[in-house]
Amino acid sequence: MKPLEVMGVRVEMPTNQPIVLLRERDGDRYLPIWIGAAEATAIAYVQQGVESPRPLTHDLFVNVLTELGHEVSAVRIDRLADNVFYATLVLDGGIEVSARPSDAIAIALRTKSPVFGSTQVLDEAGVQMPEEQQDDVEAFRDFLDSVTPEDFVAHEHDPGDDPDDDSPTR
C-alpha cells in the first residue's frame, strides 16, 4: 500500500462529471476517480472547512462510530475491477468495511485518517505526471482554492448515467 494525498475535487468538462484526484505521496503518480456530485460536495466541504448546521451523511457516520467507541484507522483504495474502484474503511480493532472510494475519502478527511492505494490500483489506473505537467497540477491547486461546494450541484445526466459508480472512465 502506498500513502496517498487527497488533492481535491473538480468537475471534468464537457461531461460535468466530478472527479477526486489523489497523489502518491512518495512518487509521481496521480489517481483520478470519477465520483458523484454529492460525494464531491462532501469532500469539498471538509477541505474548505465548511460546517453544516446539521450533520451530513458522512458526518453522521463518523458521529455514530464515535458514539459506539470506534474510530477510522485508515482508508485503502484496494481494488479496481471492471472499471470500478473499491475501497475499505479500516476501523480500530481490525474491523474492515467495504466502501466506495468517494465515501471512504469523505470519511477519511473528516477523521484525519490516512488514505492508501494498492500498488496494483496505482499500476492500473495511476497517471504519471512528467515534470513539465507540474504547472497543470499547480493550476489544479489554484482551482481548488477558488472552487465552492455549489460548483458541484448535480447536473442532468443521460438516462443510464450513474454518477456514483466510481468508474475510472466515462
What is residue 85's predicted lDDT score, i.e. its pLDDT? 96
Of the pLDDT bands very low, low, confident and very high (cuts 50, 70, 90), residue 144 is low
More confident residue, 65 or 155: 65
What pLDDT shows up at residue 154?
A: 45
In a domain, 163, yes or no: no
The answer to the question of residue 164 being in a domain is no
Which of 117, 133, 136 lies closest to 125, judged by CA? Answer: 117
Whether 43 and 8 have beta carbons less than 8 Å apart is answered as: yes
For the chain, the average pLDDT equals 84
161 within domain boundaries: no
| pLDDT confidence tier of residue 169, bands split at 50, 70 and 90 | very low
Flag whether pLDDT at 136 surpasses 80.
no
Position 157 in a domain? no
Residue 168 lies in a domain: no
The range of the structural domain enclosing residue 7 comes to 2-152
Domain count, the chain: 1
In the block, residue with C-alpha cell 469532500: 43
Q: What is the mean pLDDT of residues 119-147?
A: 72
Residue 19 lies in a domain: yes
pLDDT at 166: 57
**What pLDDT, in 10s, does the model give residues 46-91?**
999 998 889 999 999 999 999 999 999 999 999 999 999 999 999 9
pLDDT of residue 157: 42
> What's the pLDDT at 10?
87
pLDDT reading at 42 higher than 60:
yes
CATH number at residue 20: 3.10.690.10
Q: Is residue 130 part of a domain?
A: yes
pLDDT value, residue 44: 92
Which pLDDT does position 156 carry in this prediction?
43
Residue 159 is assigned to a structural domain of this protein: no
